[in-house]
Structure 1
Amino acid sequence: MRPSYHPEGLYDESKANVASSGDGERPMVQLWHRNGRCAPGTVPVRRTKKDDLMRATSMRRYGRKHKPTVANPMSVDLAMLNEGGHQHAISYVQGEKYYGAKATINVWEPKIEQPNEFSLSQLWILGGSFGEDLNSIEAGWQVSPDLYGDNNTRLFTYWTYQATGCYNMLCSGFVQINNEVAMGASIFPLSGYSGSQYDISILIWKDPKEGHWWMQFGKEYVLGYWPSFLFSYLADSASMIEWGGEVVNSQAEGVHTSTQMGSGHFPEEGFGKASYFKNIQVVDSTNNLKAPHGMGTFTEQSNCYDVQNGNNADWGSYFYYGGPGRSANCQ
């Protein structure tokens, strides 16, 4: 129940799951910790209630995303990509075999216009083609009233292969081994505009011995794994990694949603105002973390949500992303 290998060369961070702000550092926690902790030998599982099921469009679709689940930067058919109103602002790499990815993700509470819309910030581990054959592992934070019944910012995971896969632990798949961190639970504190900034660190890597895909939260919490037998292409390696934001625009044609991505502000506003990903790395075939090579960017409507890459000594590879949705320039 532990990985046999851990990636080497982790980007040097003092505390990966705490924030660096002008008023000092506070640990990132989950709100359920206020009510106690899990006993040794057990793991936390968020309770599924009747109201959760009643909000679902169908029992068969409960706990699953509406397609498409990922952005395809190489697609020329943007009408197909935007089916169902999914919009993205991402950075990505492809062209190699990837065995994992890492990022430190700025945490916010974006405003959601309609209950059936969501806003998330995550990393994608991808294999296969963008259709029924797609394999994906995803993790980050999200606000999804339809799934959770509120507008809290929550840690989440998602995986898919053909007709299988789901959020968190709402179906068989992800095997949790940690009793401190609950999938789908609210996280706190959150970043404020022109205020303190908080972030979480997520690492996903493939164990070269057992073949499972493991997830780590911060520097110390190894949460669990997705068994390799869940997938076809990802049973070997990933062919693309994506980092960034995704929202659902459910509004009528010609009217854009005001659902925010990230902080709800555009990348050019910079630190303390725009949301960011930093310390971005990939895991190579030697099980080493390294800076990504040739990162590209993609967004369907840059006047609604945008992304800007950068690199420096303090943050390594990074980008700012997000936006407000509907505005004078985004209709």
Structure 2
Amino acid sequence: MFQTLSQQSKVTNDTLGVLWENGIGCPVGTVPIRRVTKKELLRLNLFSTKYKPQGSWNFHYNLDNGQQHHFAVSRTKGGKNKNYNGATMKISLNDPKVKLPQFSSARMHLQIGDDFIQAGWIVNPKLYGDNKTRCFVYTKTSKNQCYNSMCQAGIISVRSDLPLGSVLEPVCVRGSNPSVSAAVSLYKDKVNGNWWLDFGDKTLGFWPASRFKQNYANNIEWGGEVYSAFMPSPQMGNGYFPIQHPLYNAIIYNMTTTNEKFEISEWVNNTEAFSDNTRGYKVIDDIYSEYPFRHIIYFGGPGKI
């Protein structure tokens, strides 16, 4: 049963939904730039620092955030010579229940000095005006930070058929087989140091190396992040606590890292599980899983904290 899940848990064009009214895409030689409305820009400008995505390390050293952000993640342990040039994952697609102005995301987070890149999926009604699951990236470089390509720090798109912020469908139904998942890769170009993003089997875009003060990642984390906005916190993942079963949990699996020598680790055995509040969210980090997924994490929860 789990072999079937593994074989079919991948992104297809159907998973990415209907992206274009003409069913074709952009003209040859052009790339998509998602139309940002005046209302979206106003909403983006109103985002407070507390609202914006962050990593669990930022949370750990900034506990005055009013407990508005919560995490259930697997993250690399610090130490000497722990520098990374990339990471990958396969991630289940879920649709947690979220109220305006909260968000709930499942993502990979690369901490690059004081800067970072996130990539995965998010439910963010304040940004998008709906409660649909969408692919996203979030970039922080120096004083600039934004979703997708909404500021000068954002990713530079190279695809003519897949704008970031697109709806991801279908999503997982708890207990059904096969699960629905997407492959995500963030990696540094060995030649010029640019950072690239792959989603499924498509290369979506890149960040020039010059945007970051540092040319490698210090830490990597995989898992869920929510923002509560001083309300009972939203669901994470599929809204259930993990029970270590791929069909009943939000999962991230086949995680890899690429070290400073561009050597790939397929087991990533230097990780630790972190949840800031286990009353609402939990994570199980299974480094040597009995299922055919290599390293896998189970994460999520109902929130309400």
What TM-score range do you get, normalising by the shorter chain? 0.7 to 0.9
**Mapped pair 1:99 → 2:85:** yes
CA distance in 1, matches of 2:52, 2:199: 27
Residue 285 of structure 1 aligns with which residue?
A: 260
CA distance in 1, matches of 2:194, 2:43: 33
CA distance in 1, matches of 2:170, 2:50: 26
Counterpart residue identity of residue 169, structure 1: S
Structure 2 matches for 1:135-146, cutoff 5 A? 135-146=115-126
Residue 202 of structure 2 aligns with which residue?
A: 221
| Paired residue total | 291
Q: TM-score, normalised by structure 1?
A: 0.81
Structure 2 matches for 1:42-191, cutoff 5 A? 42-56=30-44, 58=46, 61=47, 66-67=51-52, 69-72=54-57, 75=60, 79-80=63-64, 82-83=65-66, 85-93=68-76, 94-95=78-79, 96-113=82-99, 115-128=100-113, 134-173=114-153, 174-191=155-172
CA distance in 1, matches of 2:94, 2:299: 12
Deviation at 1:56, TM superposition (A): 4.3
Counterpart residue identity of residue 31, structure 1: V
1:210 aligned to 189, 192, 197, which one? 192
Q: TM-score, normalised by structure 2?
A: 0.87
Counterpart residue identity of residue 108, structure 1: N
Secondary structure at 1:160 match in 2? strand
Residue 3 of structure 2 aligns with which residue?
A: none
CA shift in 2, pair 1:119/1:198, >3 Å: same
Structure 2 matches for 1:228-267, cutoff 5 A? 228-233=209-214, 236-251=215-230, 256-257=232-233, 259-267=234-242
How big is the alpha-carbon RMSD for the aligned residues of Structure 1 and Structure 2?
Answer: 2.4
Secondary structure at 2:98 match in 1? coil
CA contact (8 A) 1:17 1:217 kept: no
Counterpart residue identity of residue 125, structure 1: L
* CA offsets 1:176-196 (integer angstroms, 9 cap, x no match): 111122111111111112224
Unaligned runs of 5+ in 1: 1-12, 20-25, 129-133
CA shift in 2, pair 1:41/1:65, >3 Å: farther
Deviation at 1:209, TM superposition (A): 1.1
Residue 17 of structure 1 aligns with which residue?
A: 10
Unaligned runs of 5+ in 2: 1-5
Deviation at 1:78, TM superposition (A): 6.5
CA shift in 2, pair 1:68/1:167, >3 Å: closer
Counterpart residue identity of residue 52, structure 1: E
Identity, % of aligned pairs? 30
CA distance in 1, matches of 2:59, 2:132: 33
CA distance in 2, matches of 1:57, 1:284: 36
Secondary structure at 1:216 match in 2? strand
Deviation at 1:34, TM superposition (A): 5.8
